[in-house]
Amino acid sequence: MASHYLFDTHALIFWYLKKSVSEEFVEFFDEQVDNGNVSVSSVSFWEIALPSKKGRIDIDNVELWKSDLTENTKIRIINPEASEMIASVYLPDIHKDPFDRLLIVQANSHNAALVTKDEFIEEYPVETFWI
């Protein structure tokens, strides 16, 4: 089992809102967050802001939500490096979503399991995790 986890954007939302995931998932990641074992890519907040603006997600003020999350948990925010952004372009064209492609590279760069239920991601050489 991994010792560090990087939330895919949907995993972050599901965990935070406690929707569309099991109680086991929430409890496991509550503990991992408390132990400082969970990261979130800064690009996930961009990815969340897009549907939030259109009212398709139950987070009205993404900036306030991000601040609350970072101030009240031990989740670490990681910013993509230019080399990671470039590497994401050169991944095999299995997955077309540029956000997910970047998360794959970031997970590998940070030796983290990518917490995702996206089956396309499992086609890449990256450790994935889901309960």
Model confidence band, residue 18 (pLDDT cutoffs 50, 70, 90) = very high
Give the pairing of strands 5-7 and 38-41.
parallel
Pair of tokens at residue 104: 């794959």
Pair of tokens at residue 67: 């601040």
Summarize pLDDT for 58-83 with one digit per residue, the tens: 888 999 999 999 999 999 999 999 99
b vs e for 26-60, b when ≥16 Cβ sit within 10 Å of the residue's Cβ?
bebbeebbeeebbbbbebbbebbbeebeeeeeebe
Pair of tokens at residue 1: 């089992």
Summarize pLDDT for 73-118 with one digit per residue, the tens: 999 999 999 999 999 999 999 989 999 999 999 999 999 999 999 9
The whole-model pTM stands at 0.94
**Does residue 1 surpass a pLDDT of 70?**
no
Looking at the DSSP bridge assignments, the partners of residue 73 are none
Q: Cβ contacts of residue 64 below 8 Å, gap of 6+?
A: none
Structural domain boundaries in the chain: 5-126
Q: What are the distances in angstroms from CA 109 to CA 11, 60, 72, 83, 125?
A: 19, 32, 26, 10, 12
Fold observed for domain 5-126: Rossmann fold (3.40.50)
